[in-house]
Structure 1
Amino acid sequence: MTEGLSGRRTGGRPSLGRSAGITMVGQAAKVLFQLAGIVILSRMLESAQFGAVAMVLAFAGFANVLGDFGFSLAALARESLSNQQSSNLFWLNSILGAAVAGVVCIFAPLISAFYALDLNTLTWVISVVFLLNGLSTQYRVLLTREGRFGFLASIDVASQGLGLVVAIGGAQLGLGAMALVLQQVTAAAVLLFGLVMATRWRPQAWRRGNGMRSFFTFGFSTTGTQLVNYASVSIQPAALGIATSPAVVGSYSRVLQILSLPLQQIGQPITRVLLPALAASRGVSQFTDTIRRAHIIFSYTLGGLAVWIGCNSELVSMILLGGGWGGAPEIMAILAVASFYQAVGYSVYWLAMSSNRVGALFFAELPGRVAMIVACFVFAQGGALAVACIVAGAAMVNFAIAHLSFYFINPQVLVELFNVTIRVLFHAALACITYAGLASVIDGDGVRAVLFSISAVVSIAVLGLLRPFRRDLKVFTDLGKSILRRKAK
């Protein structure tokens, strides 16, 4: 079976275009639930309580990466997967999930000592999430390989919804930061239950062999990259936690969560949809076309969203966070730059995963990420704005390094992707210039938000006169037609 983002399909599974569309719609709904949670809970809890959870996750969150160990992506990247291999991977993820949950519990006193705060109970309870995630990993893989993206989107939204209900109830009862932890535990438990009920699959007993060595090889290289990526994110609240106060960490972590949500909740699921299609691609031409189309949709959508948030940071901060979150608009405007470059650089990660060159990407980005981590600790005394500036600068540097390194590995595909990125940058620049001109004569945050949207549409109309931009626009129209045709049937 072969698939393409144009919406065509030649097998029993949904086409990649429809799969990507369903996934993006479902994840967008999930993001809305999470944003609703931010809006509601930010008005029920104090910034210091959000900061306490963020400080725990800065260290405990590493367990989530180790609990997967890249096995889910390895399973999705394979053209075929036997039942015994799925079973072996289930036991591996379950054992890893239990192990990292235990390690987090053991290290809870050290985390508390690091911040000089009593965070033991929060750490112990949140460790349950890592066990539940380890148990659910392969069930999600199976449903993804079966093309059941509609159900996956539904259970994701349901789990987030129930988690939010629990968090609101906990906050109303005065549980404070524990309400946020119970939100995550509830969402993970509901997700696991839904996945198990949907698949009706039961793992077999462990058996040695069965071609498992390739999964470990893939897992080692992928996990190294994910650990460094996670460290570069989690170290930000950790550094601020040492140098400042939980209230500052709370404000920074809330802004970071708002900007990270689209990339995390849409980028990772789209990766799970895209990898099997890239593995099944026949020839360089189909491979290039598939990843190029995915890059167009992802970069214009999430890159554009980052630019919109950055230009309207005061309005977004007031709507989502309300008052009492000092410096949030300024932090948001700076971190939006980092979010933009992460969005337009995501395709290099897909290229590395699909061509089994994750190790090359890891070593290419490692120096820049280590330098960023060190700089965050060194300059954390300067406050949240200083750390945000370091993160934004590091995102631009890593973007350039990743593209340069893969130019020497796969120049044909990289050039196609980079050409798209240049057009996205040009479109963002034109939209910002148009917006700046309109905003200089019209005042009001709400009005300016509308003006930016108008500026984006105007820039699309102008650039649409050029053939390369028309090709990009056609990818969106093809995707929309594909989804509408499927609904009509």
Structure 2
Amino acid sequence: MKKKALSGIRWTTISSISVLSLQIIQLLILSRILSPSDFGMMALVMSVVGFSNLFLDFGVSSYIIHKQNISNKALSSLYWLNVLVGLFFFALAYVLAPFIADFYNEKELTSIIRLISINFIVISFTSQFSVLLQKELHFKKIAFINIIAGISGLTVAVLLALNDYHVYSLIYSAMTITAISSLLYFIYGIKDHCPAFFLSFGEIKKAFSFGLFQMGERILNYVNFQFDVIIIGRFFGTELLGIYSIAKNLSMYPSNIINPIITKVSFPIMSKIQHDHFKLKGTFLKTINYLSSINFFVYSVLFFSAKPLIILLLGNQWKSSIPVFQILLIYAAIRSTGNPIGSLQLAKGRADMGFYWNLFLLIFIPISIYIGSSFGIEGIAFSLLFLMITLLTLPNWYFMVRPLCGARLNEYMKQIYIPLLNTTVAFVISYYLINMIGLNETTSIILKTASMSIIYIYLNIRFNKEFIYTLFQLLKFKLG
């Protein structure tokens, strides 16, 4: 299993870095062609589409991975359930599109939502194949699919943007990625599992009872995560939303790429050892440590590079996004440490805990964001950061981690605070040491990154040996 896990990490890393590179290239090019309003419009569309996508799965994917010996009848029943749900949400989005457009006072949203909702049908026919590939740890195939689809989407986006398609260049790019990836998942998946024309409500009920809480948890989590977009889109307009959404998307890129490298592999492994309490706790704590060690370092480098990074990637028209970008970088770094808890919940078959946790968050997040909106988009970003610092420490451990794996508070917090302290020390020394020399901005950032890397590696060798050992094992496996 260890060899499969390392192989999974290797191919997920290749896939994630490739997809991130393609997304950055697309953003770099399109930000100089499209307006902030175009990106704001896309943010509104994706908030609606993303919400609908939550219902397409019904928590079935996690049930398939969690269930170690699932029958072909069950898989066939769940496959056709996905198809029926996809058709239903296509029709629902088509009908509701004008009302959503009226809410945001953006008439063009009607045609855009109706167009992109075709994705619901396409995804429903192939989502199970992607889950089965993940369950069997076939991450090499998944990497190939993601890279090919990403290249196709980038090509479409750039060509259409250059031909004045405006926001539709983003829409057709997203649809292209869905179409290509779905086709390839179908080609790979149909070889190993061909769904029969069979529909058993008994099998669906079993999956639904498992997935109901997970679906509810995902819905609540999505509302919590997208409430800032809803508020800005409703009260501030698409231009400010475009500025905010670019800053938010950029801040989320590192953890969205780094976290799945670990969690997509650790989730199936934790599912296999779900009854071995000691091993499960150890795997979970290591996952937290590895993610914290990588994410905190990456986000600290991005923080002091924010100004030249935004200007270089996006151009001077996006300079106003720099303050909110830096706030959201800190928010995203802290948020990234909570991601593996979701995998732990599902591995233990306790999706209900995630549901109740996000229901608890729903009490605070909308109120906090609404208060923060009085101070503009920076106020909204600060409100998110404050909540993340407050809620993702003691409450998160007490209500989630402790019951699921029995980790003590000091065991859990150690996995976060050691990487945090190592990063802080390396950041402060490098930042002030290089600033004392008085170099130009580009040279300063290069030297800060280099010196911080050296100090950080040294501190991890001294105080976080497990992370360094695993990192070297992974590099050895990759080079070997």
> Under TM normalisation by the shorter chain, which class is it?
over 0.9
SS of residue paired to 2:34? coil
Provide the residue aligned with 2:297 in structure 1: 304
Equivalent position to 2:396, from 402, 406, 428: 402
Provide the residue aligned with 1:476 in structure 2: 471
Deviates more, 1:468-477 or 1:160-169: 468-477
Residues 261 and 80 of structure 1: is their aligned pair in 2 closer, same or farther, counting only changes over 3 Å? farther
Q: Does the CA contact (< 8 Å) of 1:243 and 1:380 recur in 2?
A: no
- Rounded to whole Å, the distance in 2 between the matches of 1:65 and 1:84 is 24
- Rounded to whole Å, the distance in 2 between the matches of 1:287 and 1:425 is 24
Provide the residue aligned with 1:421 in structure 2: 416
Which TM-score applies when normalising by structure 2? 0.92
Provide the residue aligned with 1:457 in structure 2: 453
Residues 267 and 206 of structure 1: is their aligned pair in 2 closer, same or farther, counting only changes over 3 Å? farther
Equivalent position to 1:98, from 77, 87, 90: 87
Q: Does the CA contact (< 8 Å) of 1:225 and 1:358 recur in 2?
A: yes
Provide the residue aligned with 1:39 in structure 2: 28
Please tell me the residue identity of whatever aligns with 2:414. Answer: N
Q: Does the CA contact (< 8 Å) of 1:314 and 1:445 recur in 2?
A: no
Residues 134 and 266 of structure 1: is their aligned pair in 2 closer, same or farther, counting only changes over 3 Å? farther
- Rounded to whole Å, the distance in 2 between the matches of 1:272 and 1:76 is 11
Provide the residue aligned with 1:12 in structure 2: none
Equivalent position to 2:346, from 330, 340, 353: 353
Residues 464 and 185 of structure 1: is their aligned pair in 2 closer, same or farther, counting only changes over 3 Å? closer
- Rounded to whole Å, the distance in 2 between the matches of 1:206 and 1:387 is 49
Q: Does the CA contact (< 8 Å) of 1:67 and 1:96 recur in 2?
A: yes
Residues 1:84 and 2:73 are matched in the alignment = yes
Equivalent position to 1:107, from 96, 115, 123: 96
Deviates more, 1:174-183 or 1:391-400: 391-400
- Rounded to whole Å, the distance in 2 between the matches of 1:411 and 1:266 is 23
Q: Give the number of equivalent residue pairs.
A: 473
SS of residue paired to 2:175? helix
Deviates more, 1:362-371 or 1:66-75: 362-371
- Rounded to whole Å, the distance in 2 between the matches of 1:81 and 1:329 is 49
1:63 deviation in Å? 0.3
Residues 233 and 320 of structure 1: is their aligned pair in 2 closer, same or farther, counting only changes over 3 Å? farther
Identity across aligned pairs (percent)?
Answer: 20
1:339 deviation in Å? 0.6
Equivalent position to 2:226, from 201, 223, 234: 234
Residues 1:24 and 2:17 are matched in the alignment = no
Q: Does the CA contact (< 8 Å) of 2:74 and 2:200 recur in 1?
A: no
Residues 311 and 212 of structure 1: is their aligned pair in 2 closer, same or farther, counting only changes over 3 Å? same
Deviates more, 1:323-332 or 1:367-376: 367-376
Deviates more, 1:304-313 or 1:46-55: 304-313
1:146 deviation in Å? 2.9
Residues 472 and 266 of structure 1: is their aligned pair in 2 closer, same or farther, counting only changes over 3 Å? closer
SS of residue paired to 2:316? coil
Provide the residue aligned with 1:444 in structure 2: 440
Q: Does the CA contact (< 8 Å) of 1:369 and 1:394 recur in 2?
A: no
Q: Deviations over 1:295-331 (max 9, x none)?
A: 3332222332222222221122122211201421111
Please tell me the residue identity of whatever aligns with 2:51. Answer: F
Q: Does the CA contact (< 8 Å) of 1:31 and 1:261 recur in 2?
A: yes
Equivalent position to 2:271, from 265, 279, 283: 279
Q: Does the CA contact (< 8 Å) of 2:157 and 2:173 recur in 1?
A: yes
Deviates more, 1:434-443 or 1:121-130: 434-443
SS of residue paired to 1:207? coil
- Rounded to whole Å, the distance in 2 between the matches of 1:99 and 1:448 is 55
Residues 173 and 258 of structure 1: is their aligned pair in 2 closer, same or farther, counting only changes over 3 Å? same
Please list, as runs of the form range in 1=range in 2, the aligned pairs for 1:204-283 lying within 5 A after superposition.
Answer: 204-208=196-200, 211-268=203-260, 270-281=262-273, 283=276
- Rounded to whole Å, the distance in 2 between the matches of 1:465 and 1:30 is 31
Which TM-score applies when normalising by structure 1? 0.91
Residues 192 and 372 of structure 1: is their aligned pair in 2 closer, same or farther, counting only changes over 3 Å? same
Residues 208 and 100 of structure 1: is their aligned pair in 2 closer, same or farther, counting only changes over 3 Å? same
Deviates more, 1:305-314 or 1:39-48: 305-314
Residues 1:149 and 2:139 are matched in the alignment = yes
Residues 327 and 439 of structure 1: is their aligned pair in 2 closer, same or farther, counting only changes over 3 Å? farther
Residues 20 and 388 of structure 1: is their aligned pair in 2 closer, same or farther, counting only changes over 3 Å? same
Q: Does the CA contact (< 8 Å) of 1:108 and 1:124 recur in 2?
A: yes
- Rounded to whole Å, the distance in 2 between the matches of 1:404 and 1:257 is 30
Q: Does the CA contact (< 8 Å) of 1:73 and 1:272 recur in 2?
A: no
Deviates more, 1:83-92 or 1:31-40: 83-92
Q: Deviations over 1:325-365 (max 9, x none)?
A: 14211111000111111112222222222122232233234
Q: Deviations over 1:436-463 (max 9, x none)?
A: 3124323433233323322432333442
Q: Does the CA contact (< 8 Å) of 2:422 and 2:460 recur in 1?
A: no
1:464 deviation in Å? 3.9
SS of residue paired to 1:107? helix
Q: Does the CA contact (< 8 Å) of 2:368 and 2:384 recur in 1?
A: no
Please tell me the residue identity of whatever aligns with 2:291. Answer: F
Structure 2 segments unaligned to the other structure (5+ residues): none
Q: What is the Cα-based RMSD across aligned positions, in Å?
A: 2.1
- Rounded to whole Å, the distance in 2 between the matches of 1:210 and 1:269 is 35
Equivalent position to 2:330, from 326, 329, 337: 337
- Rounded to whole Å, the distance in 1 between the matches of 2:152 and 2:345 is 36
Residues 83 and 411 of structure 1: is their aligned pair in 2 closer, same or farther, counting only changes over 3 Å? closer
Q: Which has the higher helix share?
A: 2
- Rounded to whole Å, the distance in 1 between the matches of 2:127 and 2:18 is 21
Residues 133 and 320 of structure 1: is their aligned pair in 2 closer, same or farther, counting only changes over 3 Å? farther
Provide the residue aligned with 1:412 in structure 2: 406
Q: Does the CA contact (< 8 Å) of 2:348 and 2:404 recur in 1?
A: no
Equivalent position to 2:159, from 169, 182, 190: 169
- Rounded to whole Å, the distance in 2 between the matches of 1:408 and 1:298 is 19
Q: Does the CA contact (< 8 Å) of 2:11 and 2:140 recur in 1?
A: yes
